[in-house]
């Protein structure tokens, strides 16, 4: 597999992407998980990606949404980013008790780890739907609203707050 730099991974996450093969309207049940997948291309057509969505049938806060990079020039693929819900195993992995994000690092990838190991916790979402909105924003899916109706309305929650004007000072009395 090619050796990647942090900048290349950042560029892959940031490049504008468009869904070219949409998911099914409903997540399909497979065992105890609901699943769905989408295929994406970068707007310049140079890169291919896949989004996977997984959610537990029994525990709705147990979910995973990930972006997989699928290199065109060579076999093999790897996860760039994954948003997870709470999913148990807190004694061994305390971050499993909170919503969290896994991000791929060049060092780990180049050492052979194909799943992201860097953990950002807690994630700034509190549900599967909020995680989808944040995820699509983080990975720059340009036509997300077409495939996730209403998701752009949720992006407002993840936008930086506009600057507030300074409070006016009362005039000193003479």
Residue-range domain boundaries for the chain: 6-153
Q: What is the pLDDT along the chain (174 residues), one digit of tens a residue?
A: 789 999 999 999 999 999 998 777 777 888 888 999 999 999 999 999 999 999 988 887 889 999 999 998 777 899 999 999 876 655 555 555 577 889 999 999 999 988 888 787 655 778 888 889 889 989 999 998 888 777 776 655 555 544 444 444 444 454
Confidence (pTM): 0.80
Closest to 75 in 3D by CA, of 133, 21, 1, 6: 1
Q: What is the largest CA-CA distance in the chain?
A: 79
């Amino acid at each position: 597999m090619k050796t990647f730099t942090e900048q290349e991974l950042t560029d892959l996450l940031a490049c504008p992407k468009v869904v070219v093969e949409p998911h099914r309207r409903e997540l399909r049940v497979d065992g105890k998980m609901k699943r769905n997948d989408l295929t994406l291309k970068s707007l310049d057509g140079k890169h291919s990606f896949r989004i996977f969505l997984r959610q537990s049938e029994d525990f709705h806060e147990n979910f995973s949404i990930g972006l997989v990079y699928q290199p065109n020039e060579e076999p093999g693929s790897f996860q760039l980013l994954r948003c997870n819900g709470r999913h148990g195993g807190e004694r061994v992995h305390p971050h499993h008790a909170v919503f969290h994000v896994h991000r791929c690092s060049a060092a780990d990838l180049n050492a052979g780890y194909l799943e992201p190991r860097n953990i950002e916790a807690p994630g700034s979402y509190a549900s599967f739907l909020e995680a989808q909105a944040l995820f699509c924003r983080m990975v720059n899916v340009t036509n997300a609203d077409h495939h996730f109706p209403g998701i752009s309305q949720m992006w407002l929650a993840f936008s930086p707050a506009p600057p507030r004007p300074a409070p006016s000072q009362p005039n000193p009395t003479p």
